[in-house]
A and B are shown apart, each in its own frame.
Chain A
Amino acid sequence: MSDLAQIVVATHRDRPLVRISGELDMSNVPALDPRLRAGIGDASAAYVDLTEVAFLDSQALSMLQRLADDLTRTGTALTVIAPPSGVAGSLLALTGMDRDLDVRPTLP
């Protein structure tokens, strides 16, 4: 894995909080995906914070979509943190994904 992106896992309100920063593209998404899933583990609810993402492309969006779909099947609630003015927030809005996902501007 390149050092384009960093992942930090923490806990927020007794839920796992996965913070991703840096750039996400096809070069590092395949490596990031398992680390993201590991960070969430088998919790019943989790936060993924994309506030600090500087770039992401459609591959990263697909990774996020697949993750959300999988968690829905297991009954896990996923909340994505992305301010609308940020890189991730604006791309989620541009692609309409903000309607399918639970996107919040800040951590509750």
Chain B
Amino acid sequence: METSKEERLQLALDAARLGTFVWYADDRGEPDERMLELFNLPKDGTLSLSAALASMIHPDDRGRYADAVAAAFDPGGARELREDIRVMQSHGGYHWVAVSARAFFTGDPPVPYRLVGVAAEVTERYEAEARRDFLFTVSETLRALTDPAEIKTRSADLLGRHLSVSRALYLDVTHEPDSDYYVVERDFHDPGVASIAGRYRADDFGAGLFAEWRAGRAITVTDVRTDARVSEAERLAYPATDVRAFAAVPLVKEGSHVATLMLHQSTPRTWQPGELALVEEVAERTWAAVERAQAEKELRQSELRFREVVEVAPQLVWVGRCDGSVEFANENWTTSTGVDPDGMDHWAMLTAAAHPDEAAGLRADLARAEARCAAFEGELRLRQRSGGFRWFLMRIVPLSDGAGSVLKWFGVATDIDDRRRADEVLREEEHQVALRLQRALLPRAVESPAGTAVCARYEAGTVALEVGGDWYDAFALPDGQLAITVGDVVGHGLDAAIAMGALRVAMAALAPHSAGPGELLSQFDRFAREVDGAHFATACYAQYDPASGRLRYASAGHPPMLVIDADGSARWLDGGRSGPLTGKVDDQRPDATDRLEPGATLVLYSDGLIERRREPITVGLERLARAAVELHHLPVEQFCSRLISALGGERQRTDDTVVLCLRAVAQPYRRELRADATELSGMRRSLTAWCAVRHVADTTVARLMLAVGEAAANAIEHAYLGQTPRSVSVTVSQEPDGTLVVAIADTGSWRSPAHPGSDRGRGIMIMRRVSDTFERHTTAGGTTIRLRLSPNGPAA
């Protein structure tokens, strides 16, 4: 069957639920049936446009629609109309209707003739938009609230107004032994009904309805009088609360009914599916908001508790945010450090309080911790507002969210100043014990046999616990040779000092029985196997024969010995070398032979004298040689002291240092004078030569000449008067500190004691004035005059 075009068009319009119309400019209208339905118009005959506008269109939309029609009839305009308007329906409500039309004109100039268009209901779209807007408002409103009770109240209030109900409320369910209770804190209610805020026993309500709630199902009742689910008792109770209809959406969490969002209507009400969906949506959002607020409230309370706790805690506590700002620092922080955290970066706050020596290191550590999101822990000094610094143990821990990004940095600093100071005292005490032990284990004084001047100096490291294992010794061997040694045990502290003591004693015990330095070091190495801490110790050893000037020496891994010859030139003894002590029995260690002429000085030392950080050892050796050459003119004791102070410098010594110097000196000056004045000038000449080898200062030589001259002249002149002249002996020796010891002895008997003013009186005065001490011993066998002249004695 063929369908006409018109029929096909009608089918399409029906399918789209579109109404069509033609309105003429003279206000006649030709709406189709659907159009009449949409506009709720009577189906009898035509209707004027103005009448339709006046009666059916929502008052708020009438003016807008009339303007739109007028615009469409303007020949200079778009000649079209598109408006959504609300149209009153028979049940009193409004539908949204979308109208699209085109204006047609006749003649020239054009005159409006008619409007042809279609209309469709778009209520659903508007309701969906309104619902969206409402839900947006609800969310925004709730989001700003922090109090759970207020969230519930505001939510009920918004929903109640939006749906124009008589009452809207949240009831919380509390589970108690006898029954569940429903608690309504506040409710929304229109002026016509009363509030029902209060506490209600669940068992008093109908069991059937509330079983649905407990199962999590929403309930809607259009009219309590007619609803079969409502019990008779309830039916009688509802009028008291002005409830004819209600809708209820329960919240069930973990199988338990915890709350219900409830709407009351004082008249029967058919709850539309969209309305129920909206209620469920609002309930959902409200629960979420309440839970969020509850969590925040708990967090606030726990933060409050946290702050209360940290304010009374003795520690310094602070919390830094990710953006660097200080979220919180307890009172202790400010009162202790005096650093005001306000407006500070929390990392900068810490470095500002740190000791200047530690601030840079701390800054680097904190930057590293921040970059790695890792905890920091360290001991450091913090500024005190009261002045000075105290030691703190600082811990900073990142607080992360579940995903691993840092939310906050939580810091605690505990005052450990007392403990640190106690530790320091303890360390210092141990240092002192080690030092005393080392001093006890080292020889008190070294011997200087005839023909030698020996001096040793030991300087402990100045850094706590850096007492080292350096040793030195000088002792006479049975054959009259002098043995000298310097050694160095690896390590520091008490253990090193003990090992050092054992090795020194061993060396002194072994030396008399060894054929020579090489054999001694071999035996020494075997012994060292049994000594804890002796592994890799180094030692050098030398034997000197003052009679011949012969020197034999050997070195086990020790820096080379230095010789400054009498002419002031330096040379290293680089023979007789073998490795450090390892306890391995191997071939005999080698030794070497050398000579020390009178006036030459042999220098033994430990590496503390030459080693400096970040410097090749050769530089230290050159520095030692230069200093030794420069200081060589000094008596050996001063030479030794000045050497150690010149090379130690002002720096902090981290290692201990030993210097042992042996100066070869000729035998003491001895001369037997005939009791004859002509002997005096020869004596002066030979004594001057003796002094020159010993680096005796010119002024001291002049004093010596006066003193010895006077003493000898006295003896020559007075000792043998009236007797057979015998001899006068003159002896001069030099002590390690440079002091000259003079003895002038005769075997005669003096005629008479000296009287002041005489020649002899003047001679005695001269002797007294140029000497440090003057003694005259007279016995039956003769007279001896003893004088001491120190390098710093009375000026000549």
Contact of B762 among A2, A25, A61 (CB under 8 A): A61
Q: Enumerate chain B residues within 8 angstroms of A87, measured Cβ to Cβ.
A: 702
B131 at the interface (CB under 8 A from A): no
* Cβ-closest chain B residue relative to A65: B762
Q: Enumerate chain A residues within 8 angstroms of B762, measured Cβ to Cβ.
A: 58, 61-62, 95
A57 at the interface (CB under 8 A from B): yes
Q: Answer whether A62 and B765 are a contact pair too, CB < 8 Å, given A23-B681, A26-B677, A27-B678.
A: no
Q: Enumerate chain B residues within 8 angstroms of A4, measured Cβ to Cβ.
A: 681
Alpha-carbon separation in the docked complex, A2 to B762 (Å): 24
A53 CB to nearest B CB, Å: 12
B770 at the interface (CB under 8 A from A): yes
A41 CB to nearest B CB, Å: 26
A29 CB to nearest B CB, Å: 9
Alpha-carbon separation in the docked complex, A27 to B679 (Å): 8
Q: Is the CB of A25 within 8 A of B796?
A: no
Q: Answer whether A59 and B766 are a contact pair too, CB < 8 Å, given A4-B681, A26-B716.
A: no
Q: Is the CB of A26 within 8 A of B770?
A: no
Q: Enumerate chain B residues within 8 angstroms of A26, measured Cβ to Cβ.
A: 677, 680, 713, 716-717
Q: Enumerate chain A residues within 8 angstroms of B681, measured Cβ to Cβ.
A: 2, 4, 23, 25, 27
Q: Mark A12-37, 1 if CB is under 8 A from B, else 0.
A: 00000000000101110000000000
Q: Is the CB of B716 within 8 A of A55?
A: no
B706 at the interface (CB under 8 A from A): yes
* Cβ-closest chain A residue relative to B679: A27
Alpha-carbon separation in the docked complex, A26 to B717 (Å): 9
Tell me the B708-726 residues at the A interface (CB within 8 Å): 709-710, 713, 716-717
Q: Is the CB of A25 within 8 A of B709?
A: yes
Alpha-carbon separation in the docked complex, A57 to B766 (Å): 9
* Cβ-closest chain A residue relative to B716: A26
- Interface size class, chain B: 20 to 34
Alpha-carbon separation in the docked complex, A90 to B706 (Å): 11
Q: Is the CB of B766 within 8 A of A91?
A: yes
Alpha-carbon separation in the docked complex, A91 to B716 (Å): 22
B608 at the interface (CB under 8 A from A): no
B385 CB to nearest A CB, Å: 65
Q: Enumerate chain A residues within 8 angstroms of B759, measured Cβ to Cβ.
A: 58-59, 62
B684 at the interface (CB under 8 A from A): yes
Q: Enumerate chain A residues within 8 angstroms of B680, measured Cβ to Cβ.
A: 25-27
Q: Answer whether A55 and B684 are a contact pair too, CB < 8 Å, given A25-B677, A26-B677, A26-B713.
A: yes
* Chain B interface helix/strand/loop/mixed: helix
Q: Enumerate chain A residues within 8 angstroms of B766, measured Cβ to Cβ.
A: 57-58, 91, 94-95
B357 CB to nearest A CB, Å: 54
* Cβ-closest chain B residue relative to A5: B681
B763 at the interface (CB under 8 A from A): yes
Q: Is the CB of A94 within 8 A of B769?
A: yes
B705 at the interface (CB under 8 A from A): yes
Alpha-carbon separation in the docked complex, A87 to B367 (Å): 76
B705 CB to nearest A CB, Å: 6
Q: Enumerate chain A residues within 8 angstroms of B709, measured Cβ to Cβ.
A: 25, 55, 57
Q: Is the CB of B678 within 8 A of A59?
A: no
Tell me the A65-98 residues at the B interface (CB within 8 Å): 87, 90-91, 94-95
Alpha-carbon separation in the docked complex, A27 to B677 (Å): 5
Q: Enumerate chain A residues within 8 angstroms of B702, measured Cβ to Cβ.
A: 87, 90
Q: Enumerate chain B residues within 8 angstroms of A90, measured Cβ to Cβ.
A: 702, 796
Q: Enumerate chain B residues within 8 angstroms of A61, measured Cβ to Cβ.
A: 762
Q: Enumerate chain A residues within 8 angstroms of B760, measured Cβ to Cβ.
A: 58
Alpha-carbon separation in the docked complex, A57 to B711 (Å): 10
Tell me the B669-702 residues at the A interface (CB within 8 Å): 677-678, 680-681, 684, 702
* Cβ-closest chain A residue relative to B763: A58
Tell me the B118-175 residues at the A interface (CB within 8 Å): none
A64 CB to nearest B CB, Å: 11
Alpha-carbon separation in the docked complex, A2 to B677 (Å): 11
Alpha-carbon separation in the docked complex, A4 to B681 (Å): 8
Alpha-carbon separation in the docked complex, A4 to B682 (Å): 11
* Cβ-closest chain A residue relative to B680: A25
Alpha-carbon separation in the docked complex, A23 to B709 (Å): 12
Q: Is the CB of A2 within 8 A of B678?
A: yes
Q: Is the CB of A58 within 8 A of B713?
A: yes
Most chain B beta-carbon contacts within 10 A, residue among A26, A55, A95: A26
Q: Is the CB of A57 within 8 A of B796?
A: no
Q: Enumerate chain B residues within 8 angstroms of A94, measured Cβ to Cβ.
A: 766, 769-770, 796
* Cβ-closest chain A residue relative to B713: A26
Q: Enumerate chain A residues within 8 angstroms of B706, measured Cβ to Cβ.
A: 57, 91
B282 CB to nearest A CB, Å: 117
B776 CB to nearest A CB, Å: 16
Q: Enumerate chain B residues within 8 angstroms of A25, measured Cβ to Cβ.
A: 677, 680-681, 709, 713
Alpha-carbon separation in the docked complex, A67 to B244 (Å): 157
Alpha-carbon separation in the docked complex, A4 to B766 (Å): 22
Q: Is the CB of A55 within 8 A of B713?
A: no
* Cβ-closest chain B residue relative to A22: B681
Q: Enumerate chain B residues within 8 angstroms of A59, measured Cβ to Cβ.
A: 713, 759
Alpha-carbon separation in the docked complex, A62 to B765 (Å): 13
A-B contact pairs, 8 of them (CB 8 A): A2-B681, A25-B677, A25-B680, A57-B706, A57-B709, A91-B766, A94-B770, A94-B796
A residues near B (Cβ < 8 Å) are 2, 4, 23, 25-27, 55, 57-59, 61-62, 87, 90-91, 94-95
List the 9 closest A-B pairs by CB distance, nearest first. A27-B677, A58-B763, A58-B762, A26-B677, A62-B759, A57-B709, A27-B678, A26-B713, A25-B680
Q: A58-B762, A62-B762 given. 5 additional CB < 8 A pairs?
A: A2-B681, A27-B681, A58-B710, A58-B759, A94-B769
